[in-house]
Structure 1
């Protein structure tokens, strides 16, 4: 059973009533799927018409190169979408993979059914497409921020740019990041050992303090 109260609070279904969501999900032939930790939801090279909304769990979008090196491109949590850009394009092979970080439940939606109106629910579709466009626009801004972060010349520069962005999103200098140390290294495209060494230096200099994925930023010592 899908929690329509939760869907009402999501960005994709903003402005819809529970009854409207039930009708829309039937029209879209939506399905709920469960994935185990480490299981691929979408895999590089595949072609998909579907995108997912996370109902429970976490998903990472990753890029694996020929030699097995992985870079984490983004992490998503409950209520967020993933895969929608590829699903909206005609027969575009995936350049990324989506992996369940833990046991994860996903609402799978067919992009073509979302974009094509029907006589029974055309107003629903119009409003849903408007919400989807808003989500895509926000993700484009997020991607721009990440490009800025990983384009910094030093590991310290990348770390500070990322933590600063997270502090802005969480409106606090006391933040929780969604990555462990290996995942953060993959996200910033740096060596894990070098990252750990730089974080240790920054903590000794009083710029940050941290324990696992909990960070506190000290602006006074960043000069």
Structure 2
């Protein structure tokens, strides 16, 4: 397991390599590799594992019984998922988690938090609070992106957020076309058609996942 990747994560901020190694043992860390498309968690499952992506990316999705998919989040290298469920292990998951590409995930057992000394536990929980707060902000952003009724409004809201976060009118996004369509809760063909119209109208330039707001 590559300690350097963990060292740069929010969860282990302020911990040195020795402390991280000790925490990994205390939290029964387990590393697993997944092929693209593999389901990591399914809705209805219960877990006490906080999950850290060390390579690749995963999608957090809502899939209904009629086959409709909504992407709630794309979790990339250095990011966490399932933190809320890990701290509430009696609550069934309401989402699916799937490998977006070949990926590696480290699982940390939150049941073992009680076994840590008070100082270490307090530092770890403070970092975990930062993670959950950022995740809540991200989910709030998605509500802004899907609030407009028109597809163009959703695209513009999403691109505006990306531009603000990256301090540039030109940037790459993490989603491919299908993932972006699922995230914005629109059909892919409708999304592609609207992007073409926006380019003709002189609002944007785009190629694959690269965008420029004009």
Aligned equivalents of 1:85 and 1:142: distance in 2?
Answer: 14
Correspondence for 1:140:
136
Aligned equivalents of 2:199 and 2:44: distance in 1?
Answer: 41
If the length of structure 2 is used for normalisation, what is the TM-score?
0.97
Question: 1:79-94 counterparts in 2 under 5 A?
Answer: 79-94=78-93
Correspondence for 1:159:
155
1:37 equivalent in alignment to 2:33: no
Which of residues 160, 169, 189 in structure 2 aligns to 1:173? 169
Cα offset, 1:17, TM superposition: 0.2
Aligned equivalents of 1:103 and 1:182: distance in 2?
Answer: 17
Instruction: Flag structure 2 segments of 5+ consecutive residues without an equivalent.
Output: none
Cα offset, 1:171, TM superposition: 1.3
1:107-135 per-position Cα deviation (integer Å, ceiling 9, x unaligned): 10112223x243xx432221111000011
If the length of structure 1 is used for normalisation, what is the TM-score?
0.93
Cα offset, 1:99, TM superposition: 0.5
Aligned equivalents of 1:122 and 1:105: distance in 2?
Answer: 30
Question: 1:92-111 counterparts in 2 under 5 A?
Answer: 92-111=91-110
SS at match of 1:142: helix
Question: 1:1-223 counterparts in 2 under 5 A?
Answer: 2-114=1-113, 116-118=114-116, 121-218=117-214
Aligned equivalents of 1:179 and 1:79: distance in 2?
Answer: 17
1:55-88 per-position Cα deviation (integer Å, ceiling 9, x unaligned): 1111100111111111111001111001111111
Aligned equivalents of 1:206 and 1:162: distance in 2?
Answer: 17
